[in-house]
Copies of this chain bind each other. A is one copy, B any other.
Amino acid sequence: MPPQPGATDISVESVTDTTSVVLPDPIETVVNGVGHLPLAIKDIHGHRSRSGPMPSGVAPYVSADMFKSPASFEKPKAKRWDHWISQESSSRTGSSIKKAAKYLKKPGLITLGGGLPSCDYFPFERIDVKVPVAPHFSEQEVLESGIVRTAGKHDIRNGKSLYDLEVCLNYGQATGSAQLIRFVTEHTEIVHKPPYADWWCILTAGSVSALEMCLRMLCTRGDYLLTEEYAFATTLEAAAPLGLRTVGIRMDKEGMLADDLDHVLTGWDELERGRPKPFVLYTVPTGQNPTGATQSCERRQAIYAIAEKHDLCIVEDDPYYFLQMEDYAPGRIHSTAEMERMPHDEYLNTLIPSYLSMDTSGRVIRLDSFSKIIAPGARAGWITGAEQLIERFARHAEVSTQTPSGISQIILYKLLEETWGHDGFLEWLRYIRSEYTRRRDNIVAACENHLPQEIASWNPPMAGMFHWINIKWHKHPKFHKDPSTTNLKKVEESIFQAAIEKGVLCSLGSWFRAQKDTDTEIFLRTTFAAAPLDRIEEAISRLGEALREEFQNGEANGIGQGANGHGS
């Protein structure tokens, strides 16, 4: 067993004897004497039956190792990353109170140690939640066929459930509850099959929180951080106050360019930059925010090779992984019914592999989030990576976020574990992927119909929520052959205001520029996730009008109607 990630103060109350956890029997399930098969959904039941019982007390010790399959443990271990860990993170020590938790194993012991409230004083007897049964996911279907799941206060002691209000409403471990850790660990193994042995999953209070904690674990004031040249604005806003400077790596329609990454690192001049070569690479590989770009498998392999060459830690922020779409086909709007219904295992093989899935060294920290696939308000996600790094992360969580809301956790458990299972969850993920595909098709078709293509161009997004539109600003009457960023910003603002005037709000590309004020092009970020479909078409139509009026010398520049002439 690896070292414990550190029980919190409250773990003193744990009533679970962790020595009783039965690790999978490596003999029983060996296949052909060459090792175990990777975990698949069909194996979950058998795998669980060979594992130890679910810890049942308040804030018990839990580790992903309890829930990984035998195949996981047969792989080589991750490399060691001592040289990456910041002073802040490396100085986190375990506390005496936490260490005292080991005495809870003593039979009959009464603890006066931990300051947990008694569940007598939690003013909730029951929480019920009405959820869809797979595959009847639409709002209308849930009304008709959704079922109500109930979480009672004492369901565990009454044998009704493995999780209840008595546990979820009290303090929990920084890992998150055992009940939910089991689910996300199995899910992660089934989907990503990390190719090294000592990976861990723990829950996070959402990926924004987790990212900031990762930056503090890895970086020091003055360091450089590698990102896409256009990057998630919140990441930039989290990094800057920590004194981190950003190096934006150039992108094409597949996102970050491996060559430019190599070029920047190979040519790094420590004297000129005043700082050693950066080693933290933040990337959103799938449906990137803001550009919508999705890195192909080959691109990811190339970037991973650069990471190996330059010893980079890849922070893979991947909330849109399951919003991967089929190719956009002009004139064709996908309907849910059209989406093929191949078996899950086959479907998973169609997804572009994550960095985690190719990470033989253990240098990837993967951030998953429930925000884009269940609900942002849950404020919950999970982080996966080498035990050495995740243990440091957990130690930080103990003195900050502690754990996601227990109420969020039990609601997610009722949905994912007690209603859907892994099968139903994948069914759901495929459902929302098809919904977002329809929305993507819709916005791209609207652009084809309503935007003047002489000045607006785009690549149909292959994942996520964002459609990124390039504006040929040298055709703008205010361009005046002045390509300076200052002039660009003026034109950008003028376009932004013109769009507002017509009644549509877009985000400007410069807001996401990793290295501020180095813009040479104008982009608009639009989202197809939020507004109703008909409003999206109307919004794009208004944007088309605004662009035409802005580029008023259109005739001279060859600016006419949209392809289908709807844009007047």
Contacts and interface: CB of A to CB of B under 8 A. Distances in A.
B112 A125 contact: no
A203 B528 CA distance: 30
B407 A377 contact: yes
A271 interface: no
Contact of A503 (B109, B123, B128): B109
B130 A124 contact: yes
A146 B505 CA distance: 47
Interface stretch (A30-38, A185-193, A206-214, A360-368): A206-214
Interface string A508-550: 1011000000000000011111111001101110100000000
B131 A123 contact: yes
Contact of A125 (B12, B120, B130): B130
Interface of A is mostly: mixed
A199 interface: no
A508 B289 CA distance: 50
Contact of A529 (B118, B243, B504, B526): B118
Interface residues of A, number: 122
Interface string A136-148: 0111001100101
Interface string A98-125: 0010011010111111111110111111
A96 B505 CA distance: 13
Nearest to A320: B115
Contacts of A169: 375-378
Interface in A411-467: 411, 415, 428, 432, 435, 465-466
Interface string A460-488: 00000110000000000000000000000
A237 B398 contact: yes
A56 to B, nearest CB: 16
Contacts of A213: 400
Interface string A280-311: 00000000010000000000000000000000
A29 interface: no
A466 B407 contact: no
A547 to B, nearest CB: 14
Which has the most chain B C-beta neighbours within 10 Å: A131, A243, A376, A401? Answer: A376
A322 to B, nearest CB: 12
Interface in A2-33: 8-10, 12-13
10 contacts: A12-B507, A88-B242, A88-B243, A96-B233, A114-B527, A115-B527, A117-B375, A139-B153, A378-B406, A405-B405
